[in-house]
Chain A
Amino acid sequence: MSSANSVPPFRRVAPVLEPGHTYASVTEKISSIVLSRPAGTGWYLAFTLAFGLVMMLGMALAYLIAKGTGIWGINIPVGWGFAIVNFVWWIGIGHAGTLISAILLLLNQKWRTSINRFAEAMTIFAVMCAGIFPLIHTGRPWLAYYMLPYPSTMGVWPQFRSPLIWDVFAVSTYFTVSLLFWFVGLIPDLATLRDRAHSRLAQQLYGILAMGWRGSARHWHRYQSAYLLLAGLATPLVVSVHTVVSFDFAIAIVPGWHTTIFPPYFVAGAIYSGFAMVLTLAIPLRKIYGLEDFITMRHLENMAKVMLATGLIVAYGYAMEFFMSYYGGSKFETFLAHNRLTGPYWPFYWALILCNLVVPQLLWFHKVRVHVPTLFLLSLVVNVGMWLERFVIVVISLHRDFMPSAWGMYAPTFWDWATYIGTLGMFLALLLLFVRALPVISIAEMRELVAHTSEEQK
């Protein structure tokens, strides 16, 4: 930490690992968060809050199952509200982890190493949060298994032309592969924890999870191949999952949904929000657990750059949407564009533009990219902006579509908010547990990095 303070603040390229670390110091530093450091009052307070929110989520879901989706603000014409907004938002957040782990691994980006573990964890938790919504937003969630192609005695199958069925496959595959990828990556670290744990129970639990890892050369060889293969498998999924989610909208004929730009625009938006969320998490994490040496300014700056790039793609998407709605000449699309700008929901649209387009332009400046508090605030702004984007797409498109006689409005109810905030609590609770139970940074890969850095220094 002292070394970080001594480096000049305007250095062009920060290292991916601060110098002076050895295998032992890396292992000690990361594993101590799990094994020896006490949780601390802050952790307990945060977990109490998060757990309270999980309870609220439980209550909201129980009430939902008991009463029906009518407890929410949805209606005819706005058949989808917070549930789908939140689903898409969470899925988007769940993008960064796999992207960082898989795509950057394949591209041999060394700087991914210290952020990939918790980014992947974040992905899994975000997809878990996301997965709740499509299930519970249906009128009869207990029949959700109708969407699976199970061998029914009636010979009834899902309707494969529906993008919702594609969603079922895309999201479940993505979740499975992400989980596997994360777990495979964890195996050597789990073995380290097993070896360093003091309590018998911890040794046993980590021992079971480590699956007999002994660190032999053959293990390492197989591990590396499996990891690479999984990375290869996960890479198309990063693109496919949000493409398929965007089909939920693009396949429909609703003005504002029926757009061919949706797949790339959704993927870019997902990466945008995913990186924003990684920053939102990484910045406090490195501060609290003193991981500045591992998650350096280089990481933060690189992530800021990715945000800037994807943010510009998203901006292009917005611009194209507008262009096409006028150029396309469809009166419904033209009206929709107009309605976004000036209709009853105009504050949402302009807030979205502010959050996703205007404010992130600050990232062009190096000073901003390396100013940690600003970066943290920016990441929050982008998270809000991306949520607003989904709200704009779902609600503004539906509330005034083809038949003016059927136009209506949507306003979330207490239960909409309770469910949304509840999932935030669940996400936070899972993260807090993760921080306490598993190494937030890949020890094995960091050790590799130590080897590389020491070679560079020589």
Chain B
Amino acid sequence: MGAEGHRHEHRGGEEPEVKHDAHDPCTEELGSRVYSLDLAAIRERLAKSTGKEYWRSLEELSGNPHFEELLHREFPRQASEWDESVDRRDFLKLMAASLALAGLSGCGRKPEETIVPYVNQPAGMTPGKPQYYATAMPLGADAIGLLVESHEGRPTKIEGNPDHPGSLGATNAFAQASILGLYDPDRSQVLTYLGEIRAWSSFLESAVATAPMLKATGGAGLRILTGSVTSPTLAAQLRALLAQYPQAKWHQWETAGSDGAREGGKLAFGRYVNTVYRPAKANVIVSLDSDFLGSGPGHVRYAKEFFRRRKLSGEHAEMSRLYVLEPTPSVTGAVADHSIPMKASDVGLFARALAAKLGLGGSASVPAEREKLLEAAAADLQKHRGASFVIAGEYQPAEVHALAHAINQALLNAAAGGTVYYTEPVEMQPVNHLESLRELCADMDAGRVDTLLILGGNPVYDAPHDLDFVSKLKKARLSFHLSQYFDETSEYCQWHIPEAHYLESWSDVRAFDGTASVVQPLIAPLYQGKTAHDVIGAFSDKPGLSSYERVRNTWVGGHTEKDWRKWLHDGVIGGTAFAPMAITSKWNPASLLPAKPAPADQLEFIFRPDPSVYDGRFANNGWLQELPKPVSKLTWDNAALVSPKTAEKLGLTHRAAWTGGEHGQILSDVVDVDLAGSKVTAAAWTLPGQADGVVTLPLGYGRSKSGQTGTNKGFNAYVVRASTGIWCATGGTLRKTGLEYPLACTQYHHNMEGRELVRSASLDEYKHNPNFAHKGAEEPPKELTLYKEFAYPGYAWGMAIDLASCNGCNACVVACVSENNIAIVGKDQVMRGREMHWIRIDRYYEGSLDSPETFFQPVPCQQCENAPCEQVCPVGATLHSAEGLNDMVYNRCVGTRYCSNNCPYKVRRFNFLRFQDWETPALKLMRNPEVTVRSRGVMEKCTYCVQRINNARIEVEKENRPIRDGEIVTACEAACPAEAIVFGNANDPKSRVAKLKAQQRNYTILAELNARPRTTYLAAVRNPNPELEKPGTPPGDKR
């Protein structure tokens, strides 16, 4: 055994480090011995080889004589050791090594640059224990920093990275669901040329073959189309390529991107800027159709800050105030203190009037009924100069953004240390995307495009229909499409290159405030995916470099290896956040041309990325498809959203079907939308809180070429989206067809039926009576039960959910699905009322139908102390644990469903059929190995993430100490950007959860049943402007 074998070192410094350090002496010993298998040479060979990118299997490696020898000899090198010291321990260690070797081909999906798996056991790795690696998920012009849980090389769960400014430990539904995107068996798995399978090398040949021609013309025929690029490395590559071929052009088209924000900044400041908000410092926020808590750059961070600013405890009773003007209800509007439905085009008028009111010049009038609101909002903003901000929505035109900038400047909000600051743009090359795409189309049409590289994106599907991208694309002589799916665009391109998922790629990305992160892979590409770096690299003068080398080269210059390792470990490249820029707007709102209010009789059509499938890129993600949309609670479909009044006017209705009914199948009227010279047929959906006369057409559905999950779901709103009305269009008609379409809606019933499930008060009422949540509530004495009380001498796990903080963003729901291996059931089963989510978010309205207050209430298992479910189970499959959990014993469950019938909270979920996919191999890799995969006929429900509780218990028993508060974080709690969910030991008065439960706002739903849930709620408190009495809301206590 060579001396080298005993060396315990970090191999290949680029190896991702363990985030949550779990050094174990046994592991170290085992690790050092296992090294004695002389694989170092092989590793060196691998490190030196540059021809191939990754080795995928044992066979590939076995070409090496050393490795063959290793395979053919049963115990290479160790044979001598056997004779000398054969004992049981050594035997076991060696066996472990052999087993690891046996698993080599199966678990070998790790990047070549870093790891030879298992044989060289990574430091700190204990088989069976997860490791966490930091990475970042790019989405549009933003990125969120993540920690990814990895079990034996398989990423299984996404968590937020507390060190990343865009996450602060929280995530959103898209990030949570991206783990399914990684393993999606429908992802494109092969590189094709005209539909025939080709090798990567033949693509390389083809790319290299273009070089002489490109060189000759200076790249005149070369066009590159990307989405928003926030990767410094990719941008550097593109710039280098453009420098090499000066005639080539780089176009960008991000269909859900915000040209308004970009151009608005340019209008106000004369240059592209990036705006960063600080909701933590703001007392008053006016959102001009901005969903800054639910979507757009930095929204997770903003939600964290916003809700932290609004946390109430006994002594602290101050909240910021949020006004939201929006045409269609968003999660931001749902938690606003004043949410005002307003046509998208009227928002601009309101902004002008607000600017005028604040003395910025210009003039605009608002309708009489908005006068009061305008007065109040302006006064509030004035009062909180420097501690307020106005934020314009991503889908509002440039002038609204410019107005918001002007107002923020005038109110000194953008002063140093204020609530808003400006930085260099996060996008590496900000351009007007629509113009950029238009230019590309014109060039293609004119035959000026010889070679087209489409890196990601799906323009055939999502480009404005009037640009007629398809017919123009056909004129390009040679087209390449890099994409995760063989989609609509791939069909029209000669070359299709499967794109690596971000969890399989080396890259880098900047977040909303400029902070850069290295995107590091958790696994080698499952389906031979390539990155944009690879594809651009193939056309560059340095085709041989790997993505890893390119990313590393971007950053390591001037830094040490240690710095690089720290960046990978932290998930953040320190000091890369952009510094605030000192710029002032010289733009005068008075320079705007006068505008007229939108004609009341004309329908306004607005487009919005769907809250579940975004712009269509997540269409094949079942977790997101089945996720009830925050406000409408629709799944698996989009629908044309209209207000109740508009629906009445157009005669649109929907009704609950017999099958599934209110909790499942809703039959909705079908409408023909005729807009911008194009037509689409859609299901209509009436949404309280929608502005009258506005039809929302959610994007991202109606995919004709997605995977099994995403194809032909909903209607394709892009069909009627023209370049003249990217986000808002008028002049269209909506006609009832007389047909009905079944929609899968998980909660059709809006009304609480007087049951006080959600309790709320205004801040004034709360100050006046902090105990308002208990007024008139029936709370029976504990003794009123037939059975003996349980004693909880140790831990008593409990949860408190602050309804003042929940904005219904759904991150917790997807986090729960991912953590607990929850099956998706499909539209048909959702329509039968059989969706499996362990935590659901109930949405209730209060007040008028046209402008209601919206409340969200996450409902996981309530873990009752006096649980109705436990008493009726005939076989004892649901039992009370010593710590107060209602444990489910899956293998004991016979499936009588009695427990579910007797559960007043209806949180139990039954496997009516075999909902889990037991066959698809990729999905097996995805599952959390610590949670049973349930089969049919078994009841299941939220367990408070009991696997996490038990992991913590094992850890603390080793250290002989009690579990500390915050040591166990449930999946839903971890994901929540609003910190609305807090879990802990209710027996410990110092724990966060006990403190919350001690608050007067704390209440139990259905307390009169004496089930005594461990999950309790903190009543919602909103901070409406006392000068504005909400129409339709009776004054006084509104519990």
A236 at the B interface (CB under 8 A): no
A68 at the B interface (CB under 8 A): yes
User: B658–A409 contact, CB under 8 A?
Assistant: yes
User: A156–B892 contact, CB under 8 A?
Assistant: yes
Residue interface mask B867-882, A partner, CB < 8 A = 1: 0100111111000000
B896 at the A interface (CB under 8 A): yes
Other contacts beyond A162-B874, A165-B874: 13, CB < 8 A: A69-B937, A70-B832, A70-B834, A77-B906, A139-B911, A141-B894, A156-B892, A158-B874, A162-B871, A162-B898, A403-B904, A404-B751, A405-B859
Segment at the interface with B among A45-53, A248-256, A384-392: A248-256
A44 at the B interface (CB under 8 A): no
A79 at the B interface (CB under 8 A): yes
Q: What residues of A have a CB within 8 angstroms of the CB of B906 in the complex?
A: 76-77, 401-403, 406
Q: What residues of A have a CB within 8 angstroms of the CB of B937 in the complex?
A: 68-69, 138-140
B397 at the A interface (CB under 8 A): no
User: A143–B873 contact, CB under 8 A?
Assistant: no
State the CA gap A74–B912 with chains docked (Å): 8
A206, chain B: closest CB distance, angstroms: 41
User: B900–A79 contact, CB under 8 A?
Assistant: yes
User: A408–B875 contact, CB under 8 A?
Assistant: no
- Candidate in A146, A163, A253 with the most chain B CB atoms within 10 angstroms: A253
User: B751–A70 contact, CB under 8 A?
Assistant: no
Name the CB-closest residue of A to B658.
A411
Which 9 residue pairs spanning A and B have beta carbons closest together?
Answer: A139-B895, A409-B661, A139-B937, A408-B663, A70-B912, A75-B833, A79-B897, A70-B913, A406-B906
8 contacts between A and B (CB under 8 A): A73-B659, A79-B897, A80-B901, A147-B894, A251-B871, A331-B754, A344-B656, A409-B661
B37, chain A: closest CB distance, angstroms: 43
User: A76–B909 contact, CB under 8 A?
Assistant: yes
State the CA gap A146–B874 with chains docked (Å): 9
Name the CB-closest residue of B to A166.
B874
User: A252–B752 contact, CB under 8 A?
Assistant: no
User: B840–A405 contact, CB under 8 A?
Assistant: yes
Say which size band chain A's interface belongs to.
Answer: 35 or more
User: A147–B664 contact, CB under 8 A?
Assistant: no
B657 at the A interface (CB under 8 A): yes
Q: Determine which of A78, A80, A158, A405 lies in contact with B876 in the assembled complex, contact meaning CB atoms within 8 Å.
A: A158
User: B901–A79 contact, CB under 8 A?
Assistant: yes
A130, chain B: closest CB distance, angstroms: 16
Q: What residues of A have a CB within 8 angstroms of the CB of B911 in the complex?
A: 68, 139
State the CA gap A183–B663 with chains docked (Å): 50
Name the CB-closest residue of A to B875.
A146
B844 at the A interface (CB under 8 A): yes
Which chain B residues have a beta carbon within 8 Å of chain A's beta carbons? 656-664, 747, 749, 751-755, 757, 787, 829, 832-834, 840, 842-844, 857, 859, 868, 871-876, 892-898, 900-902, 904-906, 908-914, 936-939, 1005-1006, 1008-1009
Q: Determine which of B754, B829, B902, B908 lies in contact with A254 in the assembled complex, contact meaning CB atoms within 8 Å.
A: B902
User: A407–B938 contact, CB under 8 A?
Assistant: no
Residue interface mask A153-180, B partner, CB < 8 A = 1: 0001111011111001000000000000
Q: Determine which of A70, A137, A398, A409 lies in contact with B656 in the assembled complex, contact meaning CB atoms within 8 Å.
A: A409
Q: What residues of A have a CB within 8 angstroms of the CB of B904 in the complex?
A: 253, 401-403
User: B874–A159 contact, CB under 8 A?
Assistant: yes
Q: Determine which of B859, B875, B936 lies in contact with A158 in the assembled complex, contact meaning CB atoms within 8 Å.
A: B875
User: A69–B832 contact, CB under 8 A?
Assistant: no
Q: What residues of B have a CB within 8 angstroms of the CB of A70 in the complex?
A: 829, 832, 834, 912-913, 936
Known: A69-B937, A402-B904, A402-B1006. A164 touches B662 (CB 8 A): no
A229 at the B interface (CB under 8 A): no
State the CA gap A409–B904 with chains docked (Å): 16
A157, chain B: closest CB distance, angstroms: 7
B387, chain A: closest CB distance, angstroms: 37
Q: What residues of B have a CB within 8 angstroms of the CB of A409 in the complex?
A: 656-664, 833
Q: What residues of B have a CB within 8 angstroms of the CB of A402 in the complex?
A: 755, 904-906, 1006, 1009
Query: Which residues, 355 to 401 on A, are CB-close (under 8 Å) to B?
Result: 398-399, 401
State the CA gap A143–B938 with chains docked (Å): 11
User: A139–B936 contact, CB under 8 A?
Assistant: yes
State the CA gap A408–B748 with chains docked (Å): 9
Q: What residues of A have a CB within 8 angstroms of the CB of B832 in the complex?
A: 70, 73, 75
B1012, chain A: closest CB distance, angstroms: 13
Name the CB-closest residue of A to B752.
A404
Residue interface mask A39-79, B partner, CB < 8 A = 1: 00000000000000000000000000001111101111111
State the CA gap A335–B749 with chains docked (Å): 15
State the CA gap A453–B251 with chains docked (Å): 108
Q: Determine which of B753, B859, B875 lies in contact with A159 in the assembled complex, contact meaning CB atoms within 8 Å.
A: B875
Where chain A touches its partner, the secondary structure class is: loop
A402, chain B: closest CB distance, angstroms: 4
Known: A76-B833, A403-B842. A139 touches B661 (CB 8 A): no
Q: Determine which of A75, A137, A403 lies in contact with B834 in the assembled complex, contact meaning CB atoms within 8 Å.
A: A75
Residue interface mask A244-286, B partner, CB < 8 A = 1: 0000100111100000000000000000000000000000000
A144 at the B interface (CB under 8 A): yes
User: B895–A69 contact, CB under 8 A?
Assistant: yes
State the CA gap A162–B938 with chains docked (Å): 18
User: A75–B660 contact, CB under 8 A?
Assistant: yes
B590, chain A: closest CB distance, angstroms: 50
Q: What residues of B have a CB within 8 angstroms of the CB of A144 in the complex?
A: 894
Q: What residues of A have a CB within 8 angstroms of the CB of B897 in the complex?
A: 74, 79-80, 139
Name the CB-closest residue of A to B906.
A406
User: A253–B893 contact, CB under 8 A?
Assistant: no
- Candidate in B656, B876, B939 with the most chain A CB atoms within 10 angstroms: B876
User: B868–A140 contact, CB under 8 A?
Assistant: no
A387, chain B: closest CB distance, angstroms: 18
Query: Which residues, 89 to 111 on A, are CB-close (under 8 Å) to B?
Result: none
Known: A252-B872, A408-B833. A139 touches B909 (CB 8 A): no
State the CA gap A80–B834 with chains docked (Å): 13
- Candidate in B659, B857, B871, B897 with the most chain A CB atoms within 10 angstroms: B897
User: A164–B664 contact, CB under 8 A?
Assistant: no
State the CA gap A325–B85 with chains docked (Å): 81
Known: A70-B834, A158-B876. A75 touches B901 (CB 8 A): no
Q: What residues of A have a CB within 8 angstroms of the CB of B752 in the complex?
A: 404
Q: What residues of A have a CB within 8 angstroms of the CB of B898 in the complex?
A: 79-80, 162, 164, 248, 252
User: A139–B910 contact, CB under 8 A?
Assistant: yes
User: A408–B901 contact, CB under 8 A?
Assistant: no
- Candidate in B663, B874, B909 with the most chain A CB atoms within 10 angstroms: B874
State the CA gap A344–B897 with chains docked (Å): 23
Q: What residues of B have a CB within 8 angstroms of the CB of A335 in the complex?
A: 753
Query: Which residues, 106 to 138 on A, are CB-close (under 8 Å) to B?
Result: 137-138
User: A404–B755 contact, CB under 8 A?
Assistant: yes
Q: What residues of B have a CB within 8 angstroms of the CB of A138 in the complex?
A: 894-896, 937
Name the CB-closest residue of B to A331.
B754
State the CA gap A273–B504 with chains docked (Å): 67
State the CA gap A335–B753 with chains docked (Å): 9
Known: A138-B896, A146-B875. A76 touches B910 (CB 8 A): yes
Q: What residues of A have a CB within 8 angstroms of the CB of B842 in the complex?
A: 403, 405
Q: Determine which of B660, B874, B938, B1008 lies in contact with A408 in the assembled complex, contact meaning CB atoms within 8 Å.
A: B660
User: A77–B833 contact, CB under 8 A?
Assistant: yes
B813, chain A: closest CB distance, angstroms: 14
User: B662–A408 contact, CB under 8 A?
Assistant: yes
Q: What residues of B have a CB within 8 angstroms of the CB of A253 in the complex?
A: 868, 902, 904, 1009
Q: What residues of A have a CB within 8 angstroms of the CB of B905 in the complex?
A: 402-403, 406
Query: Which residues, 394 to 449 on A, are CB-close (under 8 Å) to B?
Result: 398-399, 401-411
B531, chain A: closest CB distance, angstroms: 42
Known: A147-B875, A159-B873. A79 touches B751 (CB 8 A): no
User: B656–A161 contact, CB under 8 A?
Assistant: no
Q: What residues of B have a CB within 8 angstroms of the CB of A156 in the complex?
A: 876, 892
User: B844–A405 contact, CB under 8 A?
Assistant: yes
User: B1009–A143 contact, CB under 8 A?
Assistant: no
User: B893–A140 contact, CB under 8 A?
Assistant: yes
Q: What residues of A have a CB within 8 angstroms of the CB of B893 in the complex?
A: 139-140
